[in-house]
Structure 1
């Protein structure tokens, strides 16, 4: 596939109001309302801490060549999260101390790589959130292969990621989705979070979880429906 580069100016800017509200929600609560966008659970936080919210800057590289990633690291800005598609490679690390420092120097919020990273001790000392499948001593090179893309649709953690999508991450994993899709369920998710402390308090007060969530009533209805009715 030939090299395909779209200018970052074509991306919609990060909606700061939406990002601030997303930073308040418990990310797993979004899993009550969404099915798509959740990255492979094996894609884990390797460095950094806290909660990650930002705009995806997507990069697709060939398995051994990180030339395009170095170029992208020169263009990102505050709130951007670089999402790297390595073409399925799990051996060559495109992210290490120098690239991640380059991202940090430009104010980027973090990086998610559908592959591995290196220099893990330096990355943890720096503290910029980095998500990957693991670590490797084998790194990519600057071959300059005329292949890949910048700000194009990619795959990361077995989910599609588009340029300008929102990236959410914490210790549980990563979610990548269009802003409108997240906004559509955010109010309900925030309300759930507000109600959760009273739910937990009710549990310790002796009320069964199935009663509180009405799961027990649902099970009873299912059992009743499955029981053959005797003829009079």
Structure 2
């Protein structure tokens, strides 16, 4: 693909981001199907919840010139999302790039591929998601190929610059802000009700009775 460089996306809605930090991310899975990255794309460094604005970078398999450029543009709350074009041999994310991102206040980094320098990445503490790690790194070839802040694919999910990236120990969700906002109230309500539900389970109540699943099955079998 030809080199394609676009402006950074609109700032993250801080009020929405703050509310998303309070929701249990798997609860969003009760209401959404889209936006969930491949389960094999997992956190390899960092802890806690990741909430940030996607800054998308498309690289070639061996050249990380564009990623180095992008690392100097990001700011607080940004999550660099790297599409390697399906490469699973070279690592564009390592100690230097991750330190560059952390120094500028970035919230995290996601690579649809591999990382390297895993001990150094864990020492930095920036949340990093990858499919694995390797000592084979990308180079600065300066190829006229790739994109910045253009649509990419990560973990099987289409990602646009400005989408919201949510990550924890379970994995990643990347979705437009509006789509997440649509289901957030219901998800937060579910979270608020869950402690009472768990208490009833320990008091002996069957789960199917509490959720209505058992009654649903009774109706289905009665209609045969």
What interval of TM-score do these two structures reach, taking the shorter chain for normalisation?
Answer: over 0.9
Paired with 2:52 and 2:67, the residues of 1 have a C-alpha distance of 18
Paired with 2:203 and 2:122, the residues of 1 have a C-alpha distance of 42
Is 1:20 the counterpart of 2:2? The answer is no
Counterpart pick for 2:112 among 108, 111, 114: 114
Deviation at 1:118, TM superposition (A): 0.1
Q: 2:49 aligns to what?
A: 51
Q: 2:203 aligns to what?
A: 205
Aligned pairs for 1:146-165 within 5 A: 146-165=144-163
Q: 2:180 aligns to what?
A: 182
Deviation at 1:220, TM superposition (A): 1.2
Number of equivalenced pairs: 224
Deviation at 1:12, TM superposition (A): 1.2
Paired with 2:222 and 2:64, the residues of 1 have a C-alpha distance of 61
Is 1:6 the counterpart of 2:15? The answer is no
SS in 1 for 2:165: strand
1:28-64 alpha-carbon deviations (Å, 9 max, x no partner)? 0000000000000000000000000000000000011
1:64-116 alpha-carbon deviations (Å, 9 max, x no partner)? 10000000001000000000000000110000000000000100000000000
Deviation at 1:223, TM superposition (A): 1.4
Deviation at 1:133, TM superposition (A): 0.2
TM (norm. structure 2) is 0.99
Paired with 2:11 and 2:125, the residues of 1 have a C-alpha distance of 25
TM (norm. structure 1) is 0.96
Structure 2 gap segments, 5+ residues each: none
Aligned pairs for 1:1-232 within 5 A: 1-8=1-8, 11-225=9-223, 227=224
The CA RMSD measured in Å over matched residues stands at 0.5
Structure 1 runs of 4+ with >3 Å offset: none
Q: 1:230 aligns to what?
A: none
Paired with 2:220 and 2:98, the residues of 1 have a C-alpha distance of 53
Q: Which moved more, 1:86-95 or 1:215-224?
A: 215-224
Paired with 2:90 and 2:221, the residues of 1 have a C-alpha distance of 53
Paired with 1:97 and 1:125, the residues of 2 have a C-alpha distance of 10
Structure 1 gap segments, 5+ residues each: 228-232
Deviation at 1:16, TM superposition (A): 0.5
